[in-house]
């Protein structure tokens, strides 16, 4: 698929593009579709042209959540790319660990520090790397996202119908997602439900942030205490909803910031922890369980803490209970 309106130095000015949606893009949200094909265009600008009605589908205005149908004609206005894109395919890199794979989907163990997709200053992410390493794959699309700083299990769909089913399962809470995190402070409750609504906003610098607010969307996390030390607690957090930065904001709001969190954490503590060997956010997508969207068979997957997090836990000594 060609890039809408992109140009490099010396190229002709961008023009209106019209794209016909084929089977591979059918069912995808228009905002995600544009973000995928308009590489180099800031995310904020993509949403701006959607809100203004400059993007048309079959001649009519649509919202950012519109789902494309096979045969739709998408009108994309001229878009200027501030920096020319890096030419050539995504670098192959070290193969990502595959935890599960069949003809419908695959699950990889994403390392911390790697974005799930390109954009926002990142040239290539997990999905671009997989497409580069698997040139014969008809389709590879993210079924969900985890933060760049988070490690762990990530589901990729290999068929459009499977992607839609996985999205429905995510939205309806039919995929169990458990994360392991180390927080500052002594967590006392063996089991606790957190239901603070979360509101997403942009800072004056254009960075995405989330806060607890009655204006926000309903959000539900279930926290289970696994171990604790004098100054830290190891928690299992089950997500019943999948809001942006949900675990980080819920726990920080209660006074238990994630160790190493550079957005919502204790920055002085993070600096001290870095000197002790913790050089990343302590958040790991450890377990997934769901009914396979094709066979209905229950799939239960687990991945251990990465070595750098396990080593830090061991350095804390024997837990207090």
Q: Which residues are catalytic?
A: 147
* Rounded Cα distance, 272 and 294, in Å: 48
Cα–Cα separations (whole angstroms), residue 260 to 98, 150, 221, 265, 302? 26, 11, 20, 7, 23
Residue of 9, 2, 29, 140 whose CA lies nearest to 82: 9
DSSP assignments along 35-75, one per residue: HHHSTTS-HHHHHHHHHTT-SEETTEE--TTPBP-TT-EEE
**Ramachandran bin of 53, using left for φ above 0, alpha for ψ from -120 to 50, beta for the remaining angles:** left
- The dihedral over CA atoms of 225, 299, 293, 162, expressed in degrees to the nearest 10, equals 80
User: Which pairing describes strands 283-291 and 98-101: parallel, antiparallel, or unpaired?
Assistant: unpaired
Residue of 123, 129, 145, 119 whose CA lies nearest to 95: 129
* Rounded Cα distance, 221 and 199, in Å: 15
Q: Residue 181 has which token pair? A: 């995190």
**Ramachandran bin of 61, using left for φ above 0, alpha for ψ from -120 to 50, beta for the remaining angles:** beta
Q: Residue 65 has which token pair? A: 């959540």
Please answer whether residues 128 and 93 qualify as being in contact, where contact means their C-beta atoms are separated by less than 8 angstroms. Answer: no
Compute φ and ψ for 164, nearest 5 degrees: -60, -45
* Rounded Cα distance, 302 and 109, in Å: 9
């Amino acid at each position: 698929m060609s890039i809408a309106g992109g140009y490099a130095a010396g190229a002709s000015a961008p023009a209106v593009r019209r794209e016909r949606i084929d089977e591979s893009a059918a069912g995808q949200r228009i905002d995600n579709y544009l973000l995928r094909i308009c590489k180099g265009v800031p995310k904020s600008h993509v949403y701006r042209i959607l809100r203004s009605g400059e993007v048309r589908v079959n001649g009519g205005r649509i919202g950012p959540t519109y789902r494309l149908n096979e045969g739709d004609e998408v009108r994309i206005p001229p878009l200027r790319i501030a920096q020319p894109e890096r030419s050539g395919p995504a670098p192959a890199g070290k193969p990502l660990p595959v935890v599960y794979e069949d003809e419908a989907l695959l699950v990889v163990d994403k390392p911390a520090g790697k974005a799930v997709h390109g954009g926002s200053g990142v040239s290539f992410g997990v999905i671009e790397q997989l497409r580069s390493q698997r040139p014969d794959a008809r389709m590879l699309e993210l079924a969900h996202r985890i933060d760049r700083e988070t490690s762990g299990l990530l589901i990729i769909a290999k068929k459009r119908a499977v992607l839609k089913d996985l999205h429905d399962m995510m939205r309806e809470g039919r995929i169990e997602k458990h994360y392991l995190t180390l927080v500052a402070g002594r967590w006392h409750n063996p089991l606790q439900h957190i239901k603070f609504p979360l509101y997403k906003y942009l800072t004056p610098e254009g960075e995405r942030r989330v806060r607890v607010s009655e204006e926000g969307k309903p959000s539900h996390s279930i926290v289970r205490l696994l171990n604790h030390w004098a100054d830290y607690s190891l928690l299992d957090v089950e997500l019943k909803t999948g809001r942006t930065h949900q675990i980080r904001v819920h726990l920080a709001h209660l006074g238990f910031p994630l160790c190493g969190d550079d957005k919502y954490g204790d920055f002085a503590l993070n600096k001290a922890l870095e000197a002790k060997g913790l050089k990343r956010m302590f958040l790991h997508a450890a377990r997934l369980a769901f009914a396979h969207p094709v066979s209905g068979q229950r799939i239960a997957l687990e991945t251990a803490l990465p070595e750098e997090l396990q080593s830090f836990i061991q350095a804390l000594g024997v837990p207090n209970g």
